[in-house]
Amino acid sequence: MSEPLTLGYLSSIYARGTDGFMRREVEQLRRLGHVVHTFSIRRAHPRELFDESARQEHTRTEFLLEAGLGRLGLAGLRIALSAPWKFLAAVRLVIRAVPPGIE
């Protein structure tokens, strides 16, 4: 195996019981030795965490709306200052990936 990767996995709502296929993907990547950080825009409702696997993954997930804009902005600034070329490449990628009409 090549050098392990550090990956981020982002979903609008993550770690629900119905997200089994995503959780299995994350689990397999971790088994292969990669570091996977999971992020969700929103927290799943407790009723949606109907198995132990979903509850465990939910505790490992960072919820972006709960982090607050200040914390997210500071994280972006830190990345921009520490790796400006990578940051600019990521911004260019986002600009190219946005469908027409979304501004």
What share of the chain in percent tops pLDDT 70?
Answer: 97
Contact assessment for residue 63 and residue 93, using Cβ atoms and an 8 Å cutoff: no
Judgement on whether residues 48 and 97 belong to the same structural domain of the protein:
no
17: which 2 tokens?
């019981």
> Residue 94 is part of which domain span?
68-103
Q: Is the pLDDT of residue 99 over 70?
A: yes
**13 and 39 part of one domain:** yes
Same domain, yes or no: 23 and 61:
yes
Residues 35 and 54 in one domain: yes
Q: Both 50 and 2 in a single domain?
A: yes
Measure Cα distances from 50 to 2, 14, 31, 61 in Å: 36, 13, 23, 16
Lowest mean pLDDT, pick from 3-7, 16-20, 30-34: 16-20
How many structural domains comprise the chain? 2
Are residues 73 and 46 part of one domain?
no
User: pTM for this structure?
Assistant: 0.72
